Amino acid sequence: MSTNLEVGIVGLPNVGKSTLFNAITKAGAEAANYPFCTIEPNVGVVDVPDKRLSVLGEMVKAKKIVPAAMRFVDIAGLVKGASKGEGLGNKFLAHIREVDAVAQVVRCFEDGNITHVEGSIDPLRDIEIINTELCLADMESVEKRQERLVKLLKTGDKKVPIEKAVLDKVLAGLSEAVPARRLGLTEDELEFLKELHLLTMKPVLYVANVSEEEVADASANPHVQAVIKYAAGEGAEVITVSAKMESEIAELPDEEAQEFLAMAGLEEAGLDRLIKAGFKLLGLMTYITAGEIEVRAWTIVRGTKAPQAAGKIHTDFERGFIRAEIVSYNDLVECGSKAAARDKGLVRLEGKEYVMQDGDVVEFRFNV
């Protein structure tokens, strides 16, 4: 599958960002108790957890199971003044510009042995510091565009004054350190901003890093509650994890990891929730092909039609697309086999306009 969509993991120094990244990828990115131990971004490709694949694998006696994958990028910790080049500011901004979505790690645990760059634990202040730097960088982009618009006003193009009004609105928000995604912009207004690739328009997921003791029930943690309330203001999701615990789980064999989770009172690892949430944040979903050779999850963007989904397997499939034979995962499992699902009329033939659904089990018919 194509793994060109990336989630950047960001946060202030020493909030548990690299520890979390290590656990995600088992890639061994250096994690140390001092700022800027991450300079060049580490990239990790991870499998997207999906229990449906093993169920189908058993059903069709597949030789191999191939899950979907995702890319996570560990980006250097940011400090105040990054937009003016402080710390590793310019590199941070360049790296964050390249990712499609952001997972912002905020520290919600107390630990005297791990220093905080701001001297105290306050996740909302940490979020504000990052937002301010990204807003300052975006202000520069918007102001440059405004300068060009002044010259275009003389052309009489009716779109120019409308765009100027949108930019004025965005600039007013950014100057108050309000990210563009929190300004409630309409679809038409967003259209004018597309070319600017604003940092504060990127979708965000907040990762509240708590202590091992609190991870099973973080509802009593006031820092976590403050982050949840803040995230609700932009319709963002909050995932609660203990980066320390996740790094310990990552070292264990699968069976022991499950036992560890059960003892901690958790149904699934925080990392699995983070990976799934990141996948959702990028607007991705999967359809499945299932045969004796392999059961495989194919990643597509929500809203993809059948021929383009077929093109993920091979360009010939898209070029010569005839139809897609589809059964939903739930129907297939309930019936126990494709033949039984067909007998019940649950296997459908869909044409070129069919919009793929998550969990569709598909066989494409094509002719080249």
Query: Measured in whole angstroms, how far is the alpha carbon of residue 94 from the centre of its chain?
Result: 18
Q: Classify strands 64-66 and 294-301 as parallel, antiparallel or unpaired.
A: parallel
In a domain, 151, yes or no: yes
Structure tokens at 112: 């005297």
The count of C-alpha atoms lying within 13 angstroms of the C-alpha of 163, restricted to the half-sphere facing its C-beta, is: 21
Calculate the alpha carbon distances from 350 to 263, 305, 345, 356, 364 in Å: 46, 10, 14, 10, 10
The rounded distance, in Å, linking the Cα atoms of 291 and 210 is 42
In a domain, 318, yes or no: yes
Successive 10-residue mean pLDDT values, the chain, 368 residues = 71 85 64 40 81 96 93 73 51 78 91 69 91 89 90 81 93 94 93 91 94 85 94 93 90 88 87 89 94 95 96 95 97 96 96 97 93
3 is in an annotated binding site: no
Same domain for 138 and 230, yes or no, is no
CA nearest neighbour of 209 among 276, 139, 116: 116
Give the three-class secondary structure for 270: helix
In a domain, 356, yes or no: yes
Same domain for 227 and 190, yes or no, is no
The rounded distance, in Å, linking the Cα atoms of 38 and 88 is 10
224 is in an annotated binding site: no
In a domain, 127, yes or no: no
The rounded distance, in Å, linking the Cα atoms of 222 and 230 is 12
Q: Are 39 and 89 in contact (CB under 8 A)?
A: no
Q: How many other C-beta atoms lie within 10 A of the C-beta of residue 151? A: 9
Domain edge (last residue) among 251, 281, 311? 281
Q: Which domain holds residue 108?
A: 6-48+69-121+202-281
Give the three-class secondary structure for 246: helix
Domain edge (last residue) among 177, 200, 223? 200
Find the CATH number of the domain harbouring 187: 1.10.150.300
Same domain for 257 and 343, yes or no, is no
Find the CATH number of the domain harbouring 340: 3.10.20.30
Same domain for 90 and 226, yes or no, is yes
Same domain for 206 and 194, yes or no, is no
Q: What is the pLDDT of residue 3?
A: 42
98: CB partners within 8 A, 6+ apart: 6, 8, 73
339: CB partners within 8 A, 6+ apart: none
119 is in an annotated binding site: no
In a domain, 209, yes or no: yes
b (16+ CB within 10 A) / e for 55-79: ebbeebebeebbbbbbbbbbbbbbb
In a domain, 110, yes or no: yes
Which residue's structure tokens are 């169920």? 55
Overall number of domains in the chain: 3
- Beta strand residue intervals within the chain, DSSP E: 6-10, 42-47, 64-66, 69-74, 101-107, 204-209, 238-241, 284-290, 294-301, 321-328, 348-350, 360-366
Same domain for 193 and 209, yes or no, is no
In a domain, 57, yes or no: no
Same domain for 312 and 184, yes or no, is no
**pTM of the predicted protein model:** 0.82
Same domain for 145 and 237, yes or no, is no
Q: Are 317 and 328 in contact (CB under 8 A)?
A: no
Q: What is the pLDDT of residue 326?
A: 98
17 is in an annotated binding site: yes
Q: What is the pLDDT of residue 78?
A: 63
Q: What is the pLDDT of residue 27?
A: 41
Same domain for 193 and 104, yes or no, is no
Domain edge (last residue) among 200, 222, 251? 200
Give kind and range of the element (H or E) at residue 190.
helix 187-193
Find the CATH number of the domain harbouring 114: 3.40.50.300
Same domain for 160 and 195, yes or no, is yes
Q: What is the pLDDT of residue 87?
A: 45
In a domain, 156, yes or no: yes
Same domain for 103 and 23, yes or no, is yes
Which residue's structure tokens are 């108790």? 33
Same domain for 104 and 212, yes or no, is yes
99 is in an annotated binding site: no
15 is in an annotated binding site: yes
